[in-house]
Amino acid sequence: MRTTVVRRTALTASAAALALLVTACGGGDEKGGNGGDEAAKGDAVSGAPAAKAPTAAELEKLVIASADLQDHKVAEPGEDDVFDPGALSVGRAECEPVAQALSSVPTGKPAASVQRLVTQESEAAKKGMPDLAGLTEEEAEEAMLDSLDITKTMTSLRSYDADGAERTLTALREAGKKCAGGFAMSVDGEKQQVTKVTEEKLTAGEDAVAWTVGTELDGTPAETKVVVFRRGTTLAGFSSFNIAAVGRGEAFEQPTAVIEAQEAKLG
């Protein structure tokens, strides 16, 4: 039996997941910044009150929790689940917003930010790693991939002062169009290639962008679902990755349940 190949499939898929999800999904500095300063000044001049960004404490109450989703686990990401924004470099400056959304690091200058790592396991994955004894080569590979049928979604809520959220979402949409053909990027010194950025249809919040981002790491192709929608001065971002899909070379669906649960909680 080709045990080495099976093991390599699992390790390659897991490595790609960690690199792209931060698993592909990373988080980074959650202290925020002074997003929307220019727009806030403009509102002051016009006499209109500047929109106030929710604080980190307020976002904590709005981010999804385990009680909001069935058959999903929701947890605060650990140190190994997130990237420092400074660890991300992009070959084309205009593509940086796409790379940031893909890697779940802040885009623009949010005033506050919180994150959760949402995990959904198939029934086969819940059983854990199978006993490969007595299985054929093909059966062993399939059983291994079944045990890796886990979708992880890094979910981020980021608030912006004034019209910072609207401007950031516009920048994301423009970057997705400009960089549809792909670009090179590096995370923690590990080089990878974004091969394509494909726009998808999605209705959520007051405005939204959704992509399937094709990537290649060490010769292994993969896809990540990236969604960002706006509700008022807050952006909700999702970077979702299925480990088994990498090994099979298959597509997987957007994390609809996660997106809908977060949208409902934002009101």
* CATH at residue 58: 3.40.1000.70
pLDDT band at residue 87 under the 50/70/90 scheme: confident
Which residues lie across from 154 on neighbouring strands? 117, 239
Dump pLDDT digits (tens) for 109-168. 999 999 999 999 988 888 888 788 888 888 888 888 888 889 999 999 999 999 999 999
Model pLDDT for residues 169-215, shown as the tens digit of each residue: 999 999 999 999 999 999 888 899 999 999 999 999 999 999 999 99
For the residues 45-49, what does the mean pLDDT come to?
Answer: 50
- Is the entire prediction scored with pTM above 0.85? no
Instruction: Specify the pLDDT at position 36.
Output: 40
Number of structural domains the chain divides into: 1
Show the domain range for 192: 3-266
Residue 29 has pLDDT above 70, yes or no: no
The predicted pLDDT at position 159 comes to 98
pLDDT value of position 50: 65
Q: Is the pLDDT of residue 223 over 90?
A: yes
DSSP string, the chain: --HHHHHHHHHHHHHHHHHHT---------S---TTHHHHHHHHHHTPPPPPPPPHHHHHHHS--GGG-TT-EEE---GGG---GGGEEESSGGGHHHHHHHHT---S--SEEEEEEEEEE-HHHHT-SPP-TT--HHHHHHHHHHHT-EEEEEEEEEE-STTHHHHHHHHHHHHHHHTTT-EEEEETTEEEEEEEEEE-----SSEEEEEEEEEEETTEEEEEEEEEEEETTEEEEEEEEEHHHHHHT------HHHHHHHHHHH-
pLDDT averaged over every residue in the chain: 83
**What is the share, in percent, of the chain residues with pLDDT greater than 90?**
57
**How far is it, in rounded angstroms, from Cα 29 to Cα 153?**
18
